[in-house]
Amino acid sequence: MLIRVVRMTFVEEKVPVFLEIFKASREKIGSFPGCRSVELLQDYHLPHVYSTYSLWDSDEALNNYRKSELFGSVWKPTKALFSEPAQAFSFKPAQV
């Protein structure tokens, strides 16, 4: 399993545009092959900062999504709303 967190900082006035993009695409992303779930988180102290938290079957499944037409149709308009570059992190459950 792969856990993907993408932190995005938006121009404050553009947040409503992003939320519409996310609402329109969340179900499509969540039903993409290999995606188990996708959630949206808002920074507690910085209301214009959001993160997506998604669970993927594998790195391959995530990369297939990132190469897809769906990703391009979501990422390009989302990226245009940023006030600074996004940060992406991939995790796996720790074995302790």
Considering the domain delimited by 2-90, tell me its CATH architecture. 2-Layer Sandwich (3.30)
Number of H helices and E strands in the chain, helices first, is 3, 4
- Domain residue ranges in the chain: 2-90
Indicate the pTM of the whole model: 0.94
Per-residue pLDDT of the chain (96 residues; tens, 9 = 90+): 999 999 999 999 999 999 999 999 999 999 999 999 999 999 999 999 999 999 999 999 999 999 999 999 999 999 999 999 999 999 999 999
SS3 call for 13: helix
pLDDT of residue 86: 98
**Residue where the block lists tokens 């999504």:** 65
Q: CA angle, corner 55, sides to 29 and 95, nearest 5?
A: 170
Q: Identify the H or E element spanning 53.
A: strand 49-56
